[in-house]
Amino acid sequence: MNYLRTSTMNVVAVILGVMCAEMLLGANPPQSIYKSRRQQVIAALKPGSVAIFRSAPVAHRNGDVDYEYRQDSNFYYLTGFDEPESALLLIKEKRSVPGVPARVQEVIFLREKNPAMEIWTGYRLGVEAAPESLLVDAALPITGFDAVIDSLAAEVKIFYVRQSVARDLRALYRDGRKVRGLRIKSPAAILNPMRLHKDAHELALLQKAIDITAQAHVQVMRAARPGMYEYELEALLEYVFKRMGSERPGFPSIVGSGPNSCILHYQSNRRKIRPGEMVVIDIGAEYGMYTADITRTIPIDGRFSPEQRTIYQLVLAAQDSGIAAAQPGNSFRAPHKAALRVIVRGMIGLGFLKGSVEENIENGTFRDFFMHGTSHYLGMDVHDVGGTPELQPGQVITVEPGIYLSAATCEKLGIPKAYSNIGVRIEDDVLITPTGPKLLSGKAPRRVEDIERLMMEKAVLKNKL
């Protein structure tokens, strides 16, 4: 542990620390960006309609403790406002709203200032400062939200609101039934395409999240060694997240060793890592509400065994093929199909599958060791909103094939025991550009020789201490 602590403080501080201040300065975009997004939504609303967006609820943990708060992605995308107990009202045509003297289109509802409570729970923006700060037409106390919706329900027949939110609004549902003649439409058809195509500022935030995550992988590769617990690597990588300005992980960190490397969304991270094992590390730092998602698989000894190398190189070749297929105009499934063919062909070559590539794909025999898709969209959510059948410029996707040879799978397929409990997943973040895919996460080593070289650096550092 002394080595881990000292190497972390020295290496991370020197290599990464100078970036923190610059990165933090870029975390908050100007409010004009959110204003422009709101205006896009209003322009897309049907005549005579309104749209409602609610903040994320506070999640109770136990006793008088709540979970760390994370704002709803849609709400933040349109407001840049991080406080709970808030709501946004967008109106197609300017109209009168109770409590506001002028006709308005954009109204934010939020908590009022409360000095006594702010001593305990922190600063509140407050109603008076909100219009100028958030560039909205008006601000009202959240306590008056239901009354405003009641008044609008008497005049407006189309509400854009998520069903889960709509059912909590007394004005829209009576005794569990929707008010007669009222139309409830999901805002997803408007918001999802906006969120799916990243603008320059979004890409900058996402790239910072990715760079932080890549550096966390680098530090883990340098520090990892047999006998450590999975949670020690988790602690190190999340330290790097915080040290570089990340607000939080974008999802629970996955550090799965040995048999746990074959569990896709393993999250316990409590096992002691034994010599000779592989470790799947699937992590993503969140920065400015955008999350990375990068997976690396490393040999805890710093060197791949022949069997580990064989499987790793096969997954890497599949990933390279998947990334090459991430071309604008190609189907969203194109990277998966390309990666799958490489994996099936490779497993046939190893004698682990019989028959042709086409036969195995048609019969689904590969699902014993490759049971998930290869890509998902990435942005404010780790599995971000999608919606287009074809890949388009401005979209960011992951490419993450894997092979998982659990002991049970090896026994079922007659695979030699030397391959038992070798789980390998390699995941990178890719921007679709007009000229082809752009790898955003290349700072995290993924080639065998680069991983082994980096993991050997830990021994050099350790001997100096």
Cite the active site residues.
64, 265, 282, 293, 372, 376, 383, 400, 404, 425, 427
Structure token digits, residue 269: 């991270």
| Identity of the residue numbered 4 | L
Q: Which residue carries 């990178």 as its tokens? A: 428
Quote the CA–CA distance of 337 and 354 in Å, as a whole number.
19
Q: Ramachandran region of residue 113, left (φ > 0), alpha (ψ -120 to 50) or beta?
A: beta
List the one residue out of 279, 220, 284 whose CA is nearest residue 255. 279
Please work out, in degrees rounded to the nearest 5, the angle formed at the alpha carbon of residue 183 by the alpha carbons of 177 and 184: 80
Quote the CA–CA distance of 446 and 325 in Å, as a whole number.
19
Identify whether the C-beta of residue 352 lies closer than 8 Å to the C-beta of residue 344: no
Identify whether the C-beta of residue 41 lies closer than 8 Å to the C-beta of residue 265: no
List the one residue out of 272, 265, 279, 274 whose CA is nearest residue 220. 279
Q: Ramachandran region of residue 429, left (φ > 0), alpha (ψ -120 to 50) or beta?
A: beta
Beta strands in 248-385, from DSSP E residues, in sequence order: 248-249, 254-257, 278-283, 285-287, 290-291, 294-299
Burial of 285-303, coded b for 16+ CB within 10 Å and e otherwise, reads bbbbbbbbbbbbbbbbbbe
Q: Ramachandran region of residue 193, left (φ > 0), alpha (ψ -120 to 50) or beta?
A: alpha
The neighbouring-strand residues paired with 433 are 436
